[in-house]
């Protein structure tokens, strides 16, 4: 595994993953997935970005399920 320090420099994988977290928290799921995907493209071994994507998927599924319950 070839990990490098990425820091929070503009355009870094860490910056994109952090932005993904923020968009996920705001329920802006399309923007979140775009940022997590870019983080992974820049640093394919960056586990934090993969965890963010998994969290995003869980939030979307939970939200969809709760919306279905509201319709019932």
pLDDT of residue 6: 46
Question: Please, which pLDDT band fits residue 8 given cuts at 50, 70 and 90?
Answer: low
Encoded tokens for 1: 């595994």
Domain assignments of the chain as residue spans, ordered by start: 13-71
> CA angle at residue 12 from 40 to 7, to 5 degrees?
115
Average pLDDT, the chain: 80
Handedness of CA 13, 15, 18, 22 (dihedral sign): negative
Question: Which has the minimum average pLDDT: 30-34, 40-44, 51-55, 65-69?
Answer: 65-69
Asked whether residue 59 carries a pLDDT value surpassing 50, the answer given is yes
**What single string gives the DSSP state of each residue in 13-72?**
HHHHHHHHHHHHHTT-HHHHHHHHHHHHHH-TT-HHHHHHHHHHHHHHHHHHHHHHHHH-
Q: Mean pLDDT throughout 18-23?
A: 91
pLDDT in tens, 22-47: 998 888 888 999 999 999 999 999 99
């Amino acid at each position: 595994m070839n990990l490098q320090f990425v820091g929070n420099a503009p355009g870094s994988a860490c910056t994109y993953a952090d932005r993904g977290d923020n968009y996920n928290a705001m329920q802006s799921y399309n923007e979140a997935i775009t940022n997590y995907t870019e983080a992974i493209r820049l640093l394919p071994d960056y586990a934090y970005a993969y965890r963010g994507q998994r969290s995003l998927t869980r939030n979307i599924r939970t939200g969809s399920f709760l919306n279905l319950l509201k319709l019932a």
